Amino acid sequence: MTTHADLLRHTLVDTLAQNLTRRGLTLFPDVERALRTVPRDKFVPEVELERAYADTAVVTKRREDGTGLSSVSAPNMITDMLLQAHGTRGLAGAHVLEIGSGGYNAALLRELVGESGSVTTVDIDSEVTDRARRCLDAAGYHDVAVVCADAEYEIEAGRRYDLIIVTVGAWDIPPAWIGQLTDSGVLVVPLRTHGTTRSWELRRTGDQLISLSNMLAGFVPMQGAGQREGWSVALHEQVTLWLNEIYQQQFDGTHLDGVLAHERREAGTGVIVPGGRRSADLDLWLATHLPDFAMMISQQSAVTSGLVSPASPFGTPALAHDSSLAYRGRLKALSDTEFEHIVYGHGPDAEQVVQQMAEQIRAWDAAGRPAPTLHVTPIDAPEHDLPHGQVLTKRHSRLVFAWN
């Protein structure tokens, strides 16, 4: 008998498949089967059925200040990461470690690995793992192993996994993650760099990882030894600057006080975007090529009032140099089908910083609008062994962004 929950679940999966098709992607049959099989409502029993099958995240634990600590991620984000994890080989028979335990994703993975595979899900918070255990049991997934531990470290001595999938926002990739992968194992991780988070599909090659794909993502932050707080300064009560991790500790933002009160300068780039589609790779290009890069976050009221006109209020590339600021603006419509990248600036040297950012947008265009490849190397890798590209040094690793 088909229940109301079944109907809602199938409608959700139909919508996910349609959205993927519009993006030029395909929902693999085994991933679709898993999504149609696992009852998401069993993993968010606190909410009504309609919300359980809405394409939104459900926060299941918050800090006192309201910050989310644990959630059942939005189905579209889970699906995208499962497609990354699936790759071209599929997951049948795979042994999987999930870091971050909402329960729902672990159940989907259990469907994908089949009887000959296994799924272990780990979280640092015993309240989260206890909840995941209850939900998994209620949904019938008794053979998913649930572990309470800090996943910065090895979970089970000598155990190796074909896939490690991280469902919390990570700032770095600790050695234990690479060490627990099989020789050609895959790590799927939402990695925060330069103020943005992308989910990277990374394959192990020796003691390094090389990316196979990436996409924009957003997750609650990592806790425990791998936790890293963000760093920001207020430009206005409605506008915040999230700083490039390279120089954030030396940046107090006082020299930018009142910068948005300066007359706004505008520069066209001549770089045209057909159909107004987002250029996510451009943001990372700017992050890795501009030494004073930051991300500007704007409340909608600041956009509505005309104080700022960012490419995205949720995070737009910015350049903070001395007492001046430039940022990538909302695309300018040239016709119904063509849009131009625009740069705005404020401050005494607005013209200079605006042109600096505009030149990098043109450079990205002249290079053929390349996609990034990420190489993850050990922190002690010799300089001469690093691939060619922009290097970002973390606590445990060096990230090298190469542009193909």
How many whole angstroms separate alpha carbon 306 and alpha carbon 309?
Answer: 6
Place of tokens 């780039």: 269
How many whole angstroms separate alpha carbon 344 and alpha carbon 235?
Answer: 15
Note the pLDDT of residue 251: 61
Tokens of 66: 């309201």
Tokens of 178: 């690479």
Q: Catalytic one among 73, 101, 211, 279?
A: 73
Cβ atoms of residues 13 and 36 within 8 Å: yes
How many whole angstroms separate alpha carbon 252 and alpha carbon 274?
Answer: 39
Note the pLDDT of residue 61: 66
Q: Return the number of other C-beta atoms located less than 10 Å from residue 207's C-beta.
A: 12
Note the pLDDT of residue 225: 67
Tokens of 271: 């770089």
Note the pLDDT of residue 257: 87
Note the pLDDT of residue 66: 59
Bridge partners (DSSP) of residue 333 are 339
Q: How many CA atoms lie within 13 A of 216 on its CB side?
A: 12
Average pLDDT per block of 10 residues along the chain, 404 residues long: 91 96 93 97 93 86 63 89 92 96 95 97 95 96 97 94 94 95 96 87 95 83 67 86 63 78 94 79 91 89 92 87 92 91 95 96 95 94 87 92 89
Note the pLDDT of residue 222: 62
Note the pLDDT of residue 120: 98
Cβ atoms of residues 210 and 374 within 8 Å: yes
Residue 73 is a catalytic residue = yes
Residues 6+ apart with CB under 8 A from 264: 344, 345, 346, 350
- What is the total residue count of the chain? 404
